[in-house]
């Protein structure tokens, strides 16, 4: 599983000219799911994400977490995080999970965040989406899991 996390002051997603999700201060998360990803990968990522100290304290140091600031999450499914561009000029996405695997894990990700009392907004899985954000910092972090463990 791969995620791109961006600290934002605002973010929104639009599908067919309709806003489907919008947040204030918090995190925009682009989520890529691979064939062999599991609920353990989700659990590891959520624990890491909601506790990452990437929000500034009163001294301007990144010492506060999403939980500390009562921040929100805008979660966007993003199969292109598994693009393989080694050969040719058109990326291959064969490493990305097909919907029968990805959708249940995406929904589990959302439900798991909600059990942590996190406000979660989303796009629409598989839709053509327009994502708008104001990256605060800018702060962008990439995390990856394998077998339920954080790799980076």
Give the integer Cα–Cα distance in Å for 104 and 65. 27
CATH number at residue 43: 3.50.80.10
**Residues 80-121: tens digit of each pLDDT:** 999 999 998 999 999 999 999 999 999 999 999 999 999 999
Report how far apart, in Å, the C-alpha atoms of 152 and of each of 45, 84, 105, 126 are: 11, 19, 20, 26
| DSSP β-ladder status, 2-15 and 130-146 | antiparallel
**pLDDT tier at 58 (50, 70, 90 boundaries)?**
very high
Which residue range forms the structural domain that includes residue 145? 2-150
Among the listed residues 1, 28, 64, 46, the one whose alpha carbon sits nearest the alpha carbon of residue 141: 28
How high is the pLDDT of residue 5? 98
Structural domain count, the chain? 1
- pLDDT above 90 (res 128): yes
- % of the chain residues with pLDDT over 90: 97
Confidence at 152, pLDDT banded by 50, 70, 90: confident
What is the three-class DSSP state of 79? Answer: helix
Helices of type H across the chain: 39-51, 66-69, 99-115
Q: Can you tell me the distance from the alpha carbon of 138 to that of 6, in angstroms, rounded to the nearest whole number? A: 8
Q: Average pLDDT of 13-28?
A: 97
Q: What is the mean pLDDT of residues 53-73?
A: 97
38 is catalytic: no
Catalytic residue, candidates 38, 80, 94, 145 = 80
Measured CA to CA, the distance from residue 22 to residue 24 in angstroms comes to 7
Q: Is the pLDDT of residue 52 over 90?
A: yes
* Mean pLDDT of the chain, nearest integer: 96
Rounded to an integer, the average pLDDT of 50-70 is 97
């Amino acid at each position: 599983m791969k995620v791109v996390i961006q600290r934002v002051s605002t973010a929104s997603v639009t599908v067919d000219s309709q806003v489907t999700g919008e947040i204030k201060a918090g995190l925009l998360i682009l989520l890529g799911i691979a064939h062999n990803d599991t609920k353990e990968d989700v659990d590891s990522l959520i624990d890491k994400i909601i506790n990452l100290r990437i929000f500034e304290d009163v001294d301007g140091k990144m010492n506060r977490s999403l939980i500390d600031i009562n921040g929100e999450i805008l979660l966007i499914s993003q199969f292109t995080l598994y693009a393989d561009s080694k050969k040719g000029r058109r990326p291959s996405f064969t490493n990305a999970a097909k919907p029968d695997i990805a959708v249940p894990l995406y929904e589990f990700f959302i439900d798991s965040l909600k059990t942590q009392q996190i406000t979660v907004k989303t796009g629409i899985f598989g839709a053509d989406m327009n994502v708008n954000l104001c990256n605060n910092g800018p702060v962008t972090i990439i995390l990856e899991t394998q077998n339920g463990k954080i790799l980076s």
